Amino acid sequence: MAQRALFSFLALALLLAGCEKAPNTPAPGGEEQPNLTFAGFNARGTRLGVVEWEAQAATAQVYNQKKLARAQQVTIRYFQQGRQVSVAEADTAEIGTESHDILALGSVVLRASNGTVLETDRLRWENQRQRVSTESWVKVTRRGSVLTGRGMTADRDLEDVVVKEDVQISASSITDVRDQARDPGILR
C-alpha cells in the first residue's frame, strides 16, 4: 500500500514538474501512445516505509492501461534494510506500476557491494520474491573466479547465486573453486 502511494505521489510530482502529456491513442502502426512522457525519471519501491529499490532514467514513458513504465538509460539501486547492496545499469527497463517488478534489458550489469559483478542481456527483479532472475546467458565474476551459464536466480546483493544450466567456472586455482564451493550461497 505504501509502495503504491509513494509511486503515485512521485508520478504526480513529476507531472507537475514539467512532463509532457501524450494522447492515449494508437499510433499509426497500432501501438498505444504513452499517457505521460518524462525527461528525467525517478521511481522508488518501498515496503513498510523502507526503500527496497530506486530507479533513475534519462527518459521514460508511462502507459496507464498497461500499468507499465518504460525507461531508457536506466540505473537501479537495490537496498536491504535501508542499506544499498547493489547497483544495476541497463539500456532500457520496464517497471510494473502496480507489481513494482522490473525487467532490465540490453547491456545489463549488476554490481554488488561485495564485489560480485553479474552481466546479462535481460534481468528481472521479482518484487514479491525479492530476487533477480533471468533465462538468458549470464556471467558472474567474484573473487577472481568467473561463472557462466544460462538461466540464473539470485538475491539482490548477489550473495546467493544459482546458475541453472550450461554451467562453466574459470578460476585461478582449484583452491579458489573449493573455497567458493564451501562458502554457503556463493556461486552455486
Return the pLDDT at 13: 40
Pairing state between β 161-170 and 20-21: unpaired
149-170 per-position pLDDT tens digit: 999 999 989 999 999 999 998 8
Return the pLDDT at 19: 44
Structural domain boundaries in the chain: 2-182
Fold of 2-182: lipopolysaccharide transport protein A fold (2.60.450)
What is the full DSSP assignment across 84-112? EEEEEEEEEEEEETTT--EEEEEEEEEEE
Residue 142 has pLDDT above 60, yes or no: yes
Return the pLDDT at 41: 86
pLDDT band at 31 (very low <50, low <70, confident <90, very high): confident
